[in-house]
A and B are shown apart, each in its own frame.
Chain A
Amino acid sequence: QVQLVQSGAEVKKPGASVKVSCKASGYTFTGYYIHWVRQAPGQGLEWMGWINPNSGATNYAQKFQGRVTLTRDTSITTAYMELSGLRSDDTAVYYCARHVGSAYWFDPWGQGTLVTVSS
Chain B
Amino acid sequence: NFMLTQPHSVSESPGKTVTISCTRSSGSIASSYVQWYQQRPGSAPTTIIYEHNQRPSGVPDRFSGSIDSSSNSASLTISGLRTEDEADYYCQSYDSSNPLVVFGGGTKLTVL
Contacts and interface: CB of A to CB of B under 8 A. Distances in A.
Q: Do A and B come from one complex?
A: yes
B80 interface: no
Contact of A105 (B50, B102, B105): B50
Interface in A42-61: 44-47, 50, 59, 61
Interface residues of B, number: 24
Of the four ranges (under 10, 10 to 19, 20 to 34, 35 or more), the interface on chain A belongs to 20 to 34
Given A44-B90, A109-B45, A112-B44, A101 B99 contact: no
A37 B106 CA distance: 14
B44 A110 contact: yes
Contacts of B99: 47, 61-63
Contact of A104 (B44, B100, B106): B100
Interface in B58-95: 90, 92-94
B88 to A, nearest CB: 8
4 shortest interchain CB distances as A-B pairs:
A103-B33, A47-B101, A104-B94, A109-B44
Interface of B: 32-33, 35, 37, 44-47, 50-51, 56, 90, 92-94, 98-106
